[in-house]
Amino acid sequence: MTGQEHDVIVIGSGPGGASCATLLQKRGHRVLLVEKNALLGGKMASIEKDGWAYDLFPHGQVPMRGPAFETIFRELGVADAFQPALAPDDPRDIIKICYRSRGASQYRMVAQGQAMADATPFFRLWDLDPADQAKVVGFMAGLVTMPEEQLDALDDVSMHEYLADKDVPYALYSYLAFHANASLAEPIDLVAASEQIRIMKHIMLQGGGGQYKGGFGALTKVMIREFEKNGGTVLRSTKVDRILVEGGIATGVATRRGTFRAPVVVSSAGLQPTVLRLVGDEHFDRSYVAYVKSLAPGWGFTSIRYFLGKPVMDVAMYVAYSDESWWDMERFNRVKEGKIPDEVILFMCNHSFYDEAAAPPGKQVLVAGTICSPNPEATEIEGLWKRMDEQMVRFFPEIWNATERREYAGPKEISDLTRDAVLPGQGGECVGLGQIVGQCGKKKPSSVSPIPGLFYAGADAGAAGMGTHQSALSGVEVARLAGHYLNKRRKTR
């Protein structure tokens, strides 16, 4: 296949690529989707194996009411296929939160609805007096009602800096530091206040944390099914080696299966891998290459999956943190020096709670995760896994005997599956360029590349919010931009 049979080539079938491809195809463009893996979905893929069915990585949708996928499904004409496992305000969708304050020997635990609409469990968790309770309520009300212009002004301010002059109890600071690690996979002194507040607003106003019947992979399946039904072509197990640029414009891609040509190429392979490896820096202005190289990778999230012969967790999600276990840059630097802390934050999700088909009858599949470096070569990951296993046994003493098998995944596995490491320390990012201060919100890299006909979709460019939602929103925006580019091109020919 070498002729101009396609209008658009989309690289990658994660939420960014799949959403963009399916919308462009639905709008009448001829799209080729090229994915290097046999499994579609990128980090949003789900696995079905030996009677077990579970998500590889994402654990919770934020926002649950009105995520980008709902809008996409509506345009595809399959609104009914959007099937959250539980309604966002379902009283069964409970998260248990465990917290240990500095110096305390034991964790306290409270149960809370996923939408976090009721603050009183936190008052118990943090043991706050009425004056501190009032401060927390006032502060959180300010976050939830913060207008967009005020949020935009916080793109260059880290959450730590934002909190510096606020009169709030330390327990709230500690929770927000944990939240930055667990929900955004960033340290509190590196995460942009604008992004963290946006995500907290989503959780409190639109619900957060839920899942889908069939896992997140069910979303990929619907988008790809509609894509193929509308005439789109998917090439699996086909890595794009080069994006072709001729006469200064994008003209197609080269793969081991041959060369494919189209006037528009959309890459969701990551901004840095796209510019520095797939296109090559010789095609860009030197200042653009310097800018791309200067972007800091978002952080990683490493996980252990427990395949259990019997259930050990009775709720959907479980999180645990202490004043000592969340990471800021200082704590991370200690870890890099080889000092693995006694405790790490833990985010635990019970796939079986949302979908009884996730495990064979009478069994359960759980995942536990913690923040880590995005560096595929990071040497601390095994030490973190050891701590996670130890803590899991402390929270669920019966887990060790109930475990039939464990699977470990860190930045190396994430990079090998989805994102090439093209710069030192990068590749295992959880949310691509992430929510790092100074490079998100209005400062997020543009989806429009300097090369006409080349666009970037996915977590690295053009959108804001939590991982999968942000990536799909970017796909929606790139579908609009690419459609506009094609229409303009047709008119001028």
Ligand X SMILES: Cc1cc2nc3c(=O)[nH]c(=O)nc-3n(C[C@H](O)[C@H](O)[C@H](O)COP(=O)(O)OP(=O)(O)OC[C@H]3O[C@@H](n4cnc5c(N)ncnc54)[C@H](O)[C@@H]3O)c2cc1C
| Amino acid at position 16, single letter | G
- Give the position of tokens 């086909």: 238
Rounded to the nearest 10 degrees, the angle between the axes of helix 68-76 and helix 467-491 is 40
- Report if residue 458 touches ligand X, rule: CB under 6 A: yes
Considering beta carbons, is residue 9 or 151 the nearer one to ligand X? 9
Specify the residue, 41 or 453, whose C-beta has the smaller distance to ligand X: 41
Residue in 58, 169, 232, 483 binding ligand X, rule: CB under 6 A: 58
Tokens 């995520």 sit on residue:
67
Residues 271-310 touching ligand X, rule: CB under 6 A, are: 301, 303
Q: Which of 6, 7, 10, 14 binds ligand X (CB under 6 A)?
A: 14
CB atoms inside a 10 Å sphere around CB 65: 17
Q: Are 15 and 472 in contact (CB under 8 A)?
A: yes
What minimum distance in Å lies between the beta carbon of 452 and ligand X? 21
Interaction between residue 210 and ligand X (CB under 6 A):
no
Closest separation between CB of residue 50 and ligand X, Å?
Answer: 22
Nearest to 386 by CA among 330, 328, 304, 305: 304
Return the residue of 180, 269, 344, 388 that touches ligand X, per CB under 6 A: 269
Size of the site for ligand X (CB under 6 A): 38
Among 57, 69, 260, 306, binds ligand X (CB under 6 A): 57
Taking CB under 6 A as the binding criterion, the range among 15-23, 146-154, 222-230, 317-325 that sits at the site for ligand X is: 15-23
Q: Mask: binding to ligand X, 328-367, rule CB under 6 A, as x and -?
A: ----------------------------------------
Q: Given CA atoms 253, 272, 469, 40 in this order, what sign does their dihedral have?
A: positive
Selected binder of ligand X within 10, 15, 200, 279 (CB under 6 A) = 15
φ and ψ at residue 258, rounded to 5 degrees: 125, -175
* Residue 217 near ligand X by CB under 6 A: no
Kindly tell me the burial class for residue 28, based on how many C-beta atoms sit within 10 Å of its own C-beta (0-12, 13-18, 19 or more).
Answer: exposed
Binding mask 220-249 for ligand X (x = CB under 6 A): -------------------xx---------
The answer to whether 365 and 294 have CB atoms below 8 angstroms apart is no
Distance between CA atoms of 420 and 417, rounded to whole angstroms? 9
Query: CB 358 → ligand X: shortest distance, Å?
Result: 16
471 near ligand X, rule: CB under 6 A: yes
From the list 35-43, 46-54, 69-77, 318-326, the region that binds ligand X by CB under 6 A is 35-43
- What are 375's two structure tokens? 């560096």
Burial 96-122 (b: 16+ CB within 10 A, else e): bbbbbbeeeeebeebebbbbbeeeebb
Closer of 128 and 319 to ligand X (Cβ): 319
- Give the β-pairing of 108-113 and 233-235: unpaired
SS3 341: coil
If you write DSSP's letter for every residue of 391-432 in order, what string do you get?
HHHHH-TTHHHHEEEEEEE-HHHHHHHH----STT-S--SST
- Applying CB under 6 A, which of residues 112, 268, 375, 426 lies at the interface with ligand X? 268
Nearer to ligand X, 316 or 431 (CB): 431
Asked whether position 42 contacts ligand X by CB under 6 A, the answer is yes
Which residue lies nearer to ligand X by CB, 171 or 348? 348
250 vs 414 by CB, closer to ligand X = 414
**What does DSSP assign to residue 315?**
S
Query: Which of 34, 151, 344, 440 touches ligand X by CB under 6 A?
Result: 34
User: Which secondary-structure segment (H or E) carries 73?
Assistant: helix 68-76
Range 376-405, binding ligand X (CB under 6 A): none
Cβ proximity to ligand X, 128 vs 199, nearer residue: 199
Q: Reduced to 3 states, what is the DSSP secondary structure of residue 31?
A: strand
Asked if residue 43 binds ligand X (CB under 6 A), the reply is: yes
Helix (H, G, I), strand (E, B) or coil at 98: strand
Q: Which is nearer to ligand X, 169 or 208 (CB)?
A: 208
Closest CA to 128 of 161, 160, 159, 173: 173
Kindly state whether residue 319 participates in binding ligand X, applying the rule CB under 6 A: no
**Binding segment for ligand X among 7-15, 22-30, 385-393, 477-485 (CB under 6 A)?**
7-15
| Residues in touch with ligand X (CB under 6 A) | 11-17, 34-37, 42-44, 57-60, 239-240, 268-269, 301, 303, 369, 414, 418-419, 430-432, 458-459, 466-469, 471
